[in-house]
A and B are shown apart, each in its own frame.
Chain A
């Protein structure tokens, strides 16, 4: 305890302390002002971001709600110049396309997710690379594929061609969600089953997939939400149909198509139907998104 004996006027440490505290004090005003300005700009940007997003939602609700009447949900779309009409045919089309796309994509996506999570070989690497490439593909090009693969091959536009394209868009989402959820299952669960002599398939079927179910469900619902909102691929595959069509091998109507086609029409009733369809589509997509989270939480809680 003797080294505190120094000459305060020349001690380099005290000198530096003075210099630094001086710099800190003299720059404080400048630093505080620039901090306030920058943080003010962040707040302003937050406001700029919120305004259009709220405006979109508000417009769709305000303009869409008046369109929701019995006719809207029970009548089919009408051509230009004819009053009235609804979107029943589009609801049927969107529901069927969503159903077929999901029914085919979920098992394939889950198995591919298992492949990604469970094997490290060339196949898994190839699947992963392909899924990476796919996430970069614009949805319109997947629509082109649907056209080439189904419309050109079968010689006609159809709901199934649309389901094919939509399913293709959903596939990597489901795969990745499945992989993540399966990887999240604790190792000792499957190892315990393995030690009991269970086969790999049994483990996957009875341990991995059930344990990963919350994650898988969330992924599937999010994928469906994304798939149902896609418009571009449908324009090239289902063609549109102003009559009610239950047969998925025939051209069909879909909600996004109604919005797209009606939005540039000069007829008030068609425009109103476009807003109504936009509201319906938005509600469906948001319910699926919110539902996926809620369901994941509920499923997770039940396990505890």
Chain B
């Protein structure tokens, strides 16, 4: 506990003499808040303003057109929107079960002695910069995927039609995997925390009824933490959707709709970062538009997460109040 002694009178007086009157202090806080809100508002408005030329010259439908070809004045965003969604989907399809299983293992299965250490290590891994994952993916994983992983997956899953085309190493699949590795620490760290705080009384209550270890985890612990797990999942999804450099390095950056998970493709953030340097005129404006679409997706996913988590938390809180 923090124990701070009341300042001695002399110090308090001195503090008082130089302190702002209450009104001015409140004013300062309000002004700071207003500046912050104003900055963000300016941010969003300026992006809309910069993107407007694209909308006025291309109409609204350019967002869902299939062709990105600046030399012919075509700026369709569909391939990039699809690429963003597809890489994120690959990452999250892997991250949900593996992250949840890992979190369960960390919270309930590994020996007590190493539990704290392992959990802290996972939290630290969440801080590793994404460009480092990108470097590793491009230099280490891409050749491995080209020579071994992709031929292997094609040989066993080729019949699904998802693995057509040449083995290039870089592409949708690698980008999805890199995103998976990147968001895994986030997914695991948050899920582990919420799983670990499920009251031990619940766990023992289930055990005392004759539940097996897995039944306890599956029927009591995971449902008890589902709100937090959902939150972790959505947060990780948001990170995957907005990730730029790690994806830009390993996706191959081709402006076409992928026909297979091995295809090279691109995402909205990768599109922006790859073309920003040389773009001018309508293309630059279209890139701002791409940023706007990305912003919209990111903020929506985040808001949905918040609403979900909040409503789940409220139903829990309301029931607690009744109890």
Contact = CB atoms under 8 A, between A and B. Distances in A.
Contacts, number: 290
A8 interface: no
A137 B295 contact: yes
Contacts of A275: 135
B32 to A, nearest CB: 4
Interface size class of B (residues with CB under 8 A): 35 or more
B207 interface: no
B37 A24 contact: no
A231 B130 contact: yes
B111 interface: no
A18 interface: no
B80 to A, nearest CB: 12
Nearest to A52: B181
A256 B272 CA distance: 17
Contacts of B242: 137-141
Contacts of A202: 12, 15-16, 19
Contacts of A34: 212, 214
A263 interface: yes
A78 interface: no
Interface stretch (B53-61, B71-79, B99-107, B157-165): B99-107
B189 to A, nearest CB: 11
Contacts of A42: 101-102, 104-105, 109
B109 A259 contact: no
B102 A49 contact: yes
14 contacts: A44-B101, A130-B37, A132-B302, A136-B238, A138-B295, A141-B47, A198-B19, A201-B20, A202-B12, A211-B4, A236-B276, A259-B131, A259-B135, A286-B124
Interface of B: 1-4, 6-7, 11-12, 15-16, 19-22, 24-26, 28-30, 32-37, 39-43, 46-47, 50, 97-102, 104-106, 109-110, 120, 122-125, 127-136, 138-140, 181, 184-185, 188, 210, 212-215, 217-218, 238, 241-245, 249, 269, 272-273, 276, 288, 291, 294-295, 298-303, 306
